Amino acid sequence: MIKHNILIVDDEKDIIDLLSYNLKKNDFNVISANNGKEALLKLNNSIDLIILDIMMPEMDGYETCKSIKSKTEFKNIPIFFLTAKSTTDDEFKGLKIGADDYIKKPISIKNLILRINNLFKRLPKKSNSSFIISKNQIMIENRKIKLTKIEFELLEIFTKNLNRIFNRQEILNKVWGYDTYITDRTVDVHINNLRRKIGKKYFNISSAYGRGYFMEKVEKNL
């Protein structure tokens, strides 16, 4: 059985602990973040649902939701708002900017688990063949993710040479050619962007200290 991955975003540790305990008990994988900015850093395409508190410092739930929905590769990830705000206007605002459900505090765990299970019943089922590469895009668990030309070429190099370490100069020559001046920093930026898009669930791009980069397959998920 393939488990669903849920990202919890809340600035209250007690809430994160409560939700994490009960979600894990119900066979979900859990990732947590303490605020919206941290959530955006942890966001990747292996996440199946985001439980997002509205009232948080630095970046509230509304801003975080808008930012997630503005990104093509993440806009289809379902979001449940979690909040003490209970007016109709608040709920309308949350649903209008893209939330899929609205959970009011204090939380009924039984009700939350039921809503989560109902959501996943409506979505396409996850399968072991959930990572598909096609021209300039990938499909991860039925989510289409567009890649730039450079990102796609990097992905092709790594997937065709699993576990082989490529140093930056090799990558520069293969992707940009021998006559183009590109800095090492440019290579790092493109690889980090590709890492963020593909996540770590099926393939993981790792650094070999002082030597370069390599890609490994996560066998338990493929």
pLDDT at 2: 66
pLDDT at 219: 62
For the chain, what is the mean pLDDT? Answer: 87
pLDDT at 157: 92
Give the β-pairing of 49-53 and 5-9: parallel
CA dihedral 101, 106, 110, 113 (to 10 degrees): 40
Alpha carbon distance 169, 18 (integer Å): 48
Cis peptide before 106 (omega within 30 of 0): yes
Q: Which one-letter amino acid corresponds to residue 52?
A: L
Q: Assess contact for 21 and 27: CB atoms under 8 A.
A: no
The pair of structure tokens assigned to 23 is: 């979600």
Does the domain made of 5-122 have the CATH classification 3.40.50.2000?
no
Q: Assess contact for 56 and 10: CB atoms under 8 A.
A: yes
pLDDT at 130: 66
Q: How confident is the model at residue 126 (pLDDT cuts 50, 70, 90)?
A: low
CATH number of 131-221: 1.10.10.10
pLDDT at 127: 52
pLDDT at 91: 79
> Among all chains, which residue has been given the structure tokens 């109709």?
88
Q: What is the pLDDT of residues 71-121, one digit of tens each?
A: 877 888 999 999 887 677 877 888 888 899 989 888 999 999 999 999 988
Domain map (residue ranges) of the chain: 5-122, 131-221
Q: Assess contact for 151 and 196: CB atoms under 8 A.
A: no
pLDDT at 67: 94
Q: Which one-letter amino acid corresponds to residue 176?
A: W
Alpha carbon distance 215, 163 (integer Å): 5
Question: Which has the closest alpha carbon to 11: 41, 66, 53?
Answer: 53
Q: What is the pLDDT of residues 163-221, one digit of tens each?
A: 999 999 999 999 998 777 778 889 999 999 999 998 888 889 999 988 999 999 886 55
Q: Which one-letter amino acid corresponds to residue 158?
A: F
Percent of the chain with pLDDT over 70: 91
Q: Which residue has the higher pLDDT, 74 or 67?
A: 67
Across 43-47, 145-149, 211-215, the highest mean pLDDT is recorded for 211-215
Across 5-14, 125-134, 139-148, the highest mean pLDDT is recorded for 5-14
Q: How confident is the model at residue 139 (pLDDT cuts 50, 70, 90)?
A: confident
Q: Which residues contact 196 (CB under 8 A, 6 or more apart)?
A: 43, 44
Crossing angle for the helix pair 168-175 and 149-159, nearest 10 degrees?
Answer: 120
Q: What is the mean pLDDT of residues 7-27?
A: 95
